[in-house]
Amino acid sequence: MSRRYLFLMDPIERIDIRGDSTFVLMLEAQARGFEVFYAHPRALRQVGSTPWITTNAVSVQYEVGNHFQLGKVVDEPVCAFDAVFMRKDPPFDVPFLTYTWLLDRVDRARTVLVNDPQGIRDFNEKLSALRWPELMPPTLVAAERKALRQFIDEHQEVIVKPLDGAGGSGIVLLRAGDRNIGSVLDILTQEGQVHIEAQVYLPEVSQGDKRLLLLDGEPIGAVMRVPAENDVRANMHVGGRAEKTLVSERDRLIAEELSKELKSRGLLFVGIDIIGGYLTEVNVTSPTGIQEANRLDALKIESAIIDKVEQKRSLLNG
């Protein structure tokens, strides 16, 4: 029987297929003869204790402006699919949290979940890195603006960012004495009501923010994201450029430290961010960088990911 893969993601018509990681995973599954289905996770619902979804079969092709065609509509329990890829981008808001609760009810003995919803929920992409503070630059998480100001005064140059964002949204470089500090902290903390992260600025970011891709805890590729000359953010979504890089011994040490925890939580495909040899984030919601690493290093990371999903599927019952 053919495999059936379900991809839960942002609207497919809006993606940029030249860089989207979910898209090449769909292409790979389709190339293997699998049935591919697409839905926004808001289509999830729970009937009794069983999660259901209304979804479309979809065919995809690498053609800008004509990259997908929707097929038949099916309405089925989520466990009817062999694998479910939760690839919705942050912000990690209440609706996103609800999606993870609903997916928690999927029978893991029947369906491979990439990534596991409990793992996604437990691993905030900023806070989770603090499980390994020895690998990180000095970092403070706080809502209290006085504590944040003291941290800035102590370290002079600090990056502040919200805990639930992605793609560089809300990231600001603050310098001690800057008259904008109060305003920025008021906005990001919603006047002291919301926790944010403050992290010592690493000037090495001008040479790049390395995205190291991990599959089941092991490095499978990397790309250096270099910020534009007039920006501190290296995210490609906001103008960073992708450059070839090597997986260093330091990178492997960091991956090894994280590996056991990631695997135990069902976080199969993860992207970690490393600046100047320091871990800064652990991305578990919808890690990107597959296409850039593929182009720079002649890889096919999506194939390795689907191989791993199939390996895990073969171990399940039924």
Q: Which residues are catalytic?
A: 126, 161, 211, 225, 233, 273, 281, 283
Centroid of chain to Cα 260? 18
Distance CA 301, CA 218 (A): 12
Length of the chain: 318
**Beta strands 68-77; 157-162: pairing state:** unpaired
**The token pair that represents 131 in the structure block:** 């499980």
Sign of the CA dihedral 158, 208, 163, 230?
Answer: positive
Please tell me whether residue 225 adopts helix, strand or coil conformation. strand
- Cis previous bond, 115, omega within 30: yes
CA–CA dist 259, 236 (Å, integer): 26
Task: Please check whether residue 55 is in contact with residue 84, taking contact to mean a CB–CB distance below 8 angstroms.
Answer: no
**CA-to-CA distance for 250 and 198, rounded, in angstroms?**
24
Q: Cβ distance 60 to 68 under 8 Å?
A: yes
- Dist. CA 246–CA 239, nearest whole Å: 22
Are 255 and 264 contacting, i.e. CB atoms less than 8 angstroms apart? Answer: no
What's the rounded Cα separation, in Å, for the pair 190 and 207? 33
87-96 in b/e burial notation, b at 16+ Cβ within 10 A? bbbbbbeeeb
